[in-house]
Each structure stands twice: as structure tokens, then as C-alpha cells.
């Protein structure tokens, strides 16, 4: 990898807050899988919510997120969404036909157009569910009355977190910040205009790996657009041309890079570490390249040539 590449201009992240949100995002995965999870330092896990995953003519209610409350400041909360962790989630993820985003309260014109798969998880209900995910989230807001809310998630969870952030900004404005990880794009230009018009760039930050394919999804010919401001890292598997998509996308690998980078000035880190996905592999972190993001989803067939030209 070319170490001489300069870093892009990007926001400065609070290191302790960002790591806390990354840990909360990982905890949401562990909660879903039924394994013990670690709460962010200084927070207790106090509640949770579910969502509906539709599949053809059926579906299931699944665990989707965790609520954490600050120990020292009880008015501060984290809402953490988990990412793709089941076959049904994967099915929803590829539903890139759009539909209108309708806020829980009030309205916005024109209606933002968002991915039907993401929106179906956020707004859907089935199999005796008393409340949809969005209804549960607003019930939690009403119950706990947060004075400061941090919204986060990884991958699919990052997409859902952004749906909630815009809904919250329109329906029940409170002091909130969204820092999400490795998010795919959620909607088209009308979504981008609505989101960026309601939420300042400092209030919504996408943290991602330059070499991760997921943030470039869906392909550009579908017309999707990213929202908020971006914070770019860059890491990949040492000595491998095979893309190792999961290694590049892993929330744990991303957290490892951030734990080293965020205490530096500028906030970047060059080093190596063991891959969380496959401990036999070594990950390499470098300064993130300059320039626009690469539309990896458009280049799957020729990714080796694309990456070779950039290294």
C-alpha cells in the first residue's frame, strides 16, 4: 500500500465516545446471538428492542438493539442497532427498490425515498408484534426522556440508525448525535437532501474503511447517496488479493484501528494487527487515501485491477 498518500479532510472524533459507540454496536450483535456482551465503559445496559424481518410470505421478530444509560450522567443514553446477522437480514439488505419515508409525527415534503428493505425492518410488524421497531424506539424515548442521546450501529444497523435519526429530528427533536459504522447508503437524493437539511454534518458521522465494499452499496446506477459527514480509515488483509469482505467490514477490526488512530493527530494509524474474522490473517492499517470513495460495488468483476492501480 502506498504510505505517501495524504489523508482526506474529515471531522475530528471524540476517542472515548466513538469507541464506546463501537463497543455498543458489537454488543448489539452479541445480544442477538445470545452470547455475553460487554457494555461500553461507564454505561449500563437497561433495555432492548426488536424488529420484523419479512421473508416472502412469512418472517420473524428478531432482537435488534440495546439501550445503554450513562452511570455518571443518567440523562445520557446510547441506542445501538445491530447489523446483518441472519439469512433474513441478508434478504432485506438487497431490497434496493425505494419507498417513501414517513416520519412518526409531522411530515416532510418531498417525501424522502429510502430502501424498502431497510425501511421494512424499521417500520414493519408481524407475527403478533405489538409494536414495530420504530414504535418501540419512540416508546423508549418517552419512557427514559434522554437529555443527550447517542445513536449508533454497524452495517445494516448503521442504516437503521440513520432512519431513526431523521425520524427523531422531525418527530421529536432532542439533543442527539449519530456516529455509525460501515453503513451502506440508505436512500436516494431526496433522502440525502432531507437528512442533511435536518441534521448538521457534525451531528451525523459515518465511520468506515476505505477498502470496505459495503459503504459503496447499492451500485451507483441505483442512484443512492450517502448522508452526514464521513470519517475514513483504511485497512486490508496483508499480502492477499482476495477481498476478504468480512475482514474489511468487521466492527471489531474497525474498532481496533480506531482505538489506535483516534488518540493521534491526525487521527490515523499505520500498523498491523490480527484479523478478528480469521486469526491466521494479518490486517494492515494505513493512512486513508485522498480523493473520492471508490464505487467498489460497480467494480466487483475487476476489483483486483482497481486495487492494484491504487496501491
* Residue carrying C-alpha cell 445501538: 80
Rg (CA), the chain: 19
The pLDDT value recorded for residue 226 is: 95
User: Binning pLDDT at 50, 70 and 90, where does residue 8 land?
Assistant: low
User: Binning pLDDT at 50, 70 and 90, where does residue 90 land?
Assistant: very low
**What's 154's DSSP letter?**
B
User: In this predicted structure, which of 84-88, 92-96, 182-186, 303-307 has the lowest mean pLDDT?
Assistant: 84-88
The pLDDT value recorded for residue 305 is: 57
The pLDDT value recorded for residue 166 is: 98
Position 253 pLDDT exceeds 70: yes
The percentage of the chain sitting over the pLDDT mark of 70, rounded to a whole number, equals 89
pLDDT tens for 166-179 read: 999 999 989 999 99
**What's 130's DSSP letter?**
S
* Residue carrying C-alpha cell 467494480: 299
d(CA 241, CA 1): 12
**208 neighbors 25 (Cβ within 8 angstroms):** no
Task: Give the SS3 label for residue 294.
Answer: coil
Task: Of 191, 186, 157, 167, give the one whose Cα is nearest residue 89.
Answer: 157
Please give the average per-residue pLDDT across 113-124, as a whole number: 93
Which helix (H) or strand (E) is 207 found in, with range? Answer: strand 204-209
Instruction: Pick the more confident residue, 185 or 242.
Output: 185
**25 neighbors 81 (Cβ within 8 angstroms):** yes
Mean pLDDT of all residues belonging to the chain: 89
The pLDDT value recorded for residue 175 is: 94
The C-alpha cell at 225 is 447517496
Helix axes 133-144, 156-171, angle to 10 degrees: 60
Kindly tell me the burial class for residue 61, based on how many C-beta atoms sit within 10 Å of its own C-beta (0-12, 13-18, 19 or more): middle
The C-alpha cell at 46 is 437497561
Please give the average per-residue pLDDT across 74-95, as a whole number: 71
The pLDDT value recorded for residue 115 is: 93
User: Binning pLDDT at 50, 70 and 90, where does residue 221 land?
Assistant: confident
Give the domains, in start order, of the chain with CATH numbers: 15-233 (3.40.50.1820)
Task: Of 142, 137, 138, 150, give the one whose Cα is nearest residue 69.
Answer: 150
The pLDDT value recorded for residue 1 is: 38
Amino acid at each position: 500500500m502506498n504510505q505517501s498518500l495524504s489523508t482526506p479532510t474529515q471531522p475530528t472524533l471524540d476517542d472515548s465516545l466513538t469507541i464506546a459507540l463501537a463497543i455498543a454496536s458489537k454488543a448489539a450483535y452479541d445480544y442477538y446471538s445470545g452470547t455475553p456482551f460487554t457494555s461500553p465503559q461507564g454505561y449500563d445496559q437497561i433495555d432492548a428492542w426488536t424488529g420484523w424481518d419479512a421473508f416472502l410470505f412469512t418472517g420473524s421478530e428478531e432482537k435488534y438493539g440495546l439501550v445503554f444509560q450513562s452511570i455518571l450522567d443518567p440523562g445520557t443514553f446510547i441506542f445501538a442497532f445491530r447489523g446483518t446477522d441472519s439469512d433474513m437480514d441478508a434478504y432485506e439488505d438487497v431490497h434496493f427498490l425505494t419507498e417513501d419515508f414517513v416520519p412518526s409525527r409531522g411530515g416532510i415534503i418531498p417525501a424522502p425515498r429510502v430502501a424498502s428493505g431497510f425501511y421494512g425492518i424499521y417500520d414493519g410488524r408481524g407475527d403478533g408484534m405489538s409494536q414495530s421497531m420504530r414504535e418501540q424506539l419512540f416508546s423508549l424515548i418517552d419512557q427514559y426522556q434522554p437529555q443527550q442521546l447517542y445513536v449508533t450501529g454497524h452495517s445494516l444497523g448503521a442504516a437503521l440508525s440513520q432512519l431513526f435519526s431523521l425520524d427523531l429530528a422531525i418527530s421529536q427533536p432532542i439533543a442527539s448525535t449519530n456516529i455509525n459504522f460501515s453503513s451502506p447508503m440508505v436512500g436516494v437524493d431526496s433522502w440525502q437532501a432531507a437528512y442533511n437539511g435536518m441534521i448538521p454534518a457534525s451531528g451525523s458521522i459515518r465511520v468506515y474503511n476505505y477498502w470496505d465494499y459495503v459503504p459503496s452499496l447499492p451500485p451507483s446506477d441505483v442512484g443512492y447517496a450517502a448522508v452526514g459527514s464521513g470519517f475514513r480509515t483504511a485497512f486490508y488483509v496483508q499480502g492477499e488479493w482476495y477481498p476478504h469482505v468480512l475482514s474489511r467490514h468487521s466492527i471489531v477490526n474497525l474498532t481496533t484501528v480506531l482505538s489506535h488512530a483516534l488518540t493521534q493527530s491526525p487521527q490515523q494509524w499505520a500498523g498491523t494487527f490480527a484479523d478478528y474474522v480469521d486469526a491466521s490473517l494479518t490486517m494492515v492499517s494505513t493512512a486513508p487515501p485522498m480523493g473520492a470513495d471508490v464505487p467498489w460495488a460497480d467494480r466487483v468483476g475487476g476489483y483486483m485491477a482497481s486495487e492494484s492501480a491504487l496501491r
